[in-house]
């Protein structure tokens, strides 16, 4: 049986996707921050030490949360507008016996 997704809830989908992006960012940035701490200071072409910003690793998950929410909500709203003209995402389902 073919079905189409008629409407995507911008707020609900954006919440879920933003949380998933944040968790993914935390999982990715924590090991990167630890490696960066262990490597030590970098130097530029003149030999001057360049401080690495560990704060970037602390605030990046928040940026993922905010921008993930905003762009997912926008994408869902655009999908809802264009559904009227081009139809929705189509998928097929099948009944399974218990």
Per-residue pLDDT tens for 38-83?
876 778 788 887 777 778 888 989 999 999 999 999 999 999 999 9
Q: What are phi and psi of 64, to 5 degrees?
A: -60, -40
Tell me which H or E stretch contains 96: none
Q: What are phi and psi of 72, to 5 degrees?
A: -70, -40
Q: How many CA atoms lie within 13 A of 69 on its CB side?
A: 10
Q: Please tell me the pTM assigned to this model.
A: 0.76
Per-residue pLDDT tens for 62-74?
999 999 999 999 9
How far, in Å, CA of 61 to CA of 25, rounded? 5
Where are the domains positioned within the chain?
Answer: 8-39+53-86
């Amino acid at each position: 049986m073919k079905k189409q997704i008629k409407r995507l809830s911008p707020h609900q989908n954006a919440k879920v996707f933003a949380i998933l992006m944040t968790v993914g960012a935390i999982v990715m940035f924590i090991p990167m921050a630890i490696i960066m701490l262990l490597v030590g200071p970098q130097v530029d072409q003149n030999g001057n030490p360049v401080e690495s910003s560990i704060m970037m690793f602390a605030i990046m998950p928040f940026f993922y949360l905010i921008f993930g929410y905003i762009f997912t909500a926008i994408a869902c709203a655009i999908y809802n507008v264009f559904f009227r003209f081009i139809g929705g995402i189509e998928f097929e389902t099948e009944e399974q016996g218990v």
